[in-house]
Amino acid sequence: MQLFDVYPLYDITPVRGEGCYVFEENGTRYLDLYGGHAVISIGHAHPTYVKAIREQVEKLGFYSNSIKNPLQEELAEKLEKVSGVKDYSLFLCNSGAEANENALKVASFETGKSKVIYFERAFHGRTSGVVAVTDNESIKSPFNKGHQTVKLPFDDIPALENELQKEDVAAVIFEVIQGVGGLDEASTEFYKAAEELCKKHHAVLIADEVQAGYGRTGDFFAFQKHGIRPHIISVAKGMGNGFPIGGILIDNNIKAKYGMLGTTFGGNHLACAAGIAVLDTIENENLAKNAGNLFEYVKEKAAEIPQIKKIKGRGLMIGLEFDFEIAALRKDLLFNYQIFTGAASNKNLLRILPPLNIEEKHFDSFFEALKSALKTYK
Ligand SMILES: Cc1ncc(COP(=O)(O)O)c(C=O)c1O
C-alpha cells in the first residue's frame, strides 16, 4: 500500500533526536529551529521525558475514559500551577484541531448559538469546524463550508462590535500571535475589547494557544501579556513534546454535562505521563523565561543583518521578515547548512520555532549560516 500523497517531502530522514538537533542514519546533524511545527518544547529525547514515558508504558499505556485516571488530575493540577491560570477545568484530547473543535462545540452548547467569528490570516486546524474558521479557502471542502462563520479583519474593534451586536454569535476564536498566518499580534485594546464584547453579547472567547502556548512566547500563555481572561484556552503542540496530546481549559462558569464531549484516546495514561514530564521540565528548567530572554538576543543578532526588514513575534515564536521571498533561502539553510526553519503564508517571513531550551550558541550558528547564505541573495 502506498501513502496518501498529501505532504510534499524533503529528502531527509531523521532517525534520532537530541536537544536541539536531529540526526540522519549516516550521522548528518540538523539544527532544529522549527521543532516540527512548534511541537518540540523541551527538546528531542529529553531524559525526564524519555524516563516518564518508558516507565508509564511498562505499567499501563492506555485505558479508556470510563475508569479513574489520577494522571489526568495530576496533569490538570500541574498545568494550573505552571501556567498560573485559575478556575478553569481541563478536557483532554489528541491534537490542536480536536482541541479547537471541542472549544467551538462547548461554546455552541453554552450559548445555544452557532455562528463563529474568526480573523483574517487565522489558522485553527483542518477538521470540519476549525477549517471553516481558518483563513485558507484552498483547504476547505464543500462539506466544511456548511458552517456559520464570519471572517473579520484582525485588530478591528468596530468590525467586531458590529458583528457581535447581532446577538447570534456563539464564539470568537483567535490566535494571540498568529502562527501560520505570519506572526501578527493585535493590540491589547483589541483583546480587551474582545473580552468585554463577548461578555456583553453572551459569546465565548476562545484563545487558540496551540502554537503560542506552553511557554513559547516567554509567558506560559501568549494572552497573559494582554491581561485578559478567555473563556476557553486550547492547547496542543508543545504540550506533549511530540506525543499527541491536546486539551481545552474551560472557565469554571461553563458547566460540564455527561456526554457533552468525549474521546477514546484523549488523556490516556501514556499521553498524561508525557504531558506531566513536559510541565515538570518547563518549570524546573525555567524554559518560558529562557524563551523570553533569548528573544532579546535574537533581536540584537537580527539587527546586524540588513536584509531583515522586521522581527516579529515574541519569545521563541519568531518571524524574520526579509525584503524577498524566502522559499529558496529556507532550502539553502536546510540542505547546505543543515538548519530547519519554517515558512508562513507571508512569503517573505522565515519562522523560527525552536525547542525552548535552545541556547545563544545555537543562534550564533544560525546567524553565521544566515549571513553566509545571504551572500547569494542580493
Ligand atoms: C494556532 C494553531 N491552531 C491549531 C492548529 C492545529 O493543530 P493540529 O495540527 O495539532 O491539529 C495549529 C497547527 O499548526 C495551529 O498552529
Q: pLDDT per residue over 238-272, tens digit each?
A: 999 999 999 999 999 999 999 999 999 999 999 99
Q: Is 193 helix (H, G, I), strand (E, B) or coil?
A: helix
Report the alpha-carbon distance of residue 342 to residue 331 in Å, rounded.
10
Closest CA to 214 of 316, 100, 338: 316
pTM of the model as a whole: 0.98
d(CA 258, CA 261): 8
User: Is the beta carbon of 175 within 6 A of some atom in ligand 1?
Assistant: yes
Pocket test of ligand 1: the residue of 210, 241, 353 to mutate, having most ligand atoms within 8 Å of its CB, is 210
Give the amino acid at 355: P
What is the amino acid identity at position 102?
Answer: N
CA pair distance 307, 301, nearest whole angstrom: 12
Is residue 124 lining ligand 1, measured as CB closer than 6 Å?
A: yes
Spacing, Cα 271 to ligand 1 middle (Å): 18
Q: 373 C-alpha to center of ligand 1: Å?
A: 30
Which phi and psi (to 5°) does residue 36 adopt? 55, 55
Q: What separation in Å is there between the alpha carbon of 353 and the centre of ligand 1?
A: 14
Distance between CA 19 and CA 37 in Å, rounded?
16
* Cell numbers linked to 147: 458552517
Which residues, at least 6 apart from 34, have a Cβ–Cβ distance to it below 8 Å?
340, 341, 342, 351, 352, 353, 354
- For the segment 174-188, the average pLDDT, to the nearest whole number, is 97
Supply the DSSP symbol for 137: G
Give the position, in ligand 1's atom list, of the atom nearest the Cα of 98: 11
Percentage of residues in the chain having pLDDT higher than 70? 99
Ligand 1, atom 13, lies closest to the CA of 125
Ligand 1 pocket, residue 95 CB under 6 Å: yes
Q: How far is the CA of 283 from the centre of ligand 1 (A)?
A: 24
Q: Is the distance from the beta carbon of residue 180 to the nearest atom of ligand 1 less than 6 Å?
A: yes
- The CA–CA distances, whole Å, from 141 to 75, 112, 131, 147 equal 36, 26, 9, 12
pLDDT band at 375 (very low <50, low <70, confident <90, very high): very high
Q: Could you report how far apart the first and last alpha carbons of the chain are, in Å?
A: 46
What is the CATH class of 33-44+286-374?
Answer: alpha beta
Residue 378: what pLDDT?
58
Residue 359: count other Cβ atoms within 10 Å of its Cβ. 13
Of 130, 109, 118, 188, the closest CA to residue 160 belongs to: 118
Domain ranges in the chain with CATH number 3.40.640.10: 47-284
Mean pLDDT calculated for residue range 167-178: 98
Burial category of 128 from C-beta neighbours within 10 Å (exposed 0-12, middle 13-18, buried 19 and up): middle
CA distances, 59 to each of 54, 56, 103, 235, 337 (Å): 9, 5, 32, 27, 42
% of the chain at pLDDT higher than 90: 99
Determine if ligand 1 sits within 6 Å of the CB of residue 97. yes
Q: Tell me: the pLDDT tens digits for 267-317?
A: 999 999 999 999 999 999 999 999 999 999 999 999 999 999 999 999 999
d(CA 14, CA 28): 9
Q: Are 30 and 339 in contact (CB under 8 A)?
A: yes
Task: Write out pLDDT tens, residues 17-33.
Answer: 999 999 999 999 999 99
* 177, amino acid identity: I
CB 253 within 8 A of CB 111: no
- Give residue 216 CA to ligand 1 midpoint distance, Å: 14
151 lines ligand 1 (CB under 6 A): no
Q: Give the contacts of 194 (CB within 8 A, at least 6 positions apart).
A: 160, 172, 174, 205, 228
Confidence of residue 333 (pLDDT cuts 50, 70, 90): very high
Do 240 and 96 meet the contact criterion of CB atoms below 8 Å apart?
Answer: no
Pick the closest to residue 117 from 158, 79, 63, 168 (CA basis).
Answer: 168
CATH 3.90.1150.10 in the chain is located at 33-44+286-374
Average pLDDT of span 63-73: 97
Q: Judge if the beta carbon of residue 269 lies within 6 A of ligand 1.
A: no
133 close to ligand 1 (CB < 6 Angstrom): no
On average, the pLDDT of the chain sits at 97
- Pocket probe mutation, ligand 1, options 94, 123, 134, max atoms within 8 Å of Cβ: 123
* 197-235 pLDDT, tens digit each: 999 999 999 999 999 999 999 999 999 999 999 999 999
Distance of CA 318 to the CA centre of its chain: 13
Domain 47-284, CATH among 1.10.287.70, 3.40.50.970, 3.40.640.10, 3.40.50.2300: 3.40.640.10
Q: Residue 37: CB within 6 Å of ligand 1?
A: yes
pLDDT at 266: 98
Closest CA to 88 of 244, 262, 234: 234
Q: For 145-171, how does the pLDDT look when each residue is reduced to its tens digit (9 = 90+)?
A: 999 999 999 999 999 999 999 999 999
In this structure, are residues 342 and 353 in contact, taking their beta carbons and an 8 Å threshold? yes
Q: What is the pLDDT at residue 376?
A: 84
DSSP 19: B
Q: What is the mean pLDDT of residues 88-105?
A: 98
- Cell representation of residue 303: 539587527
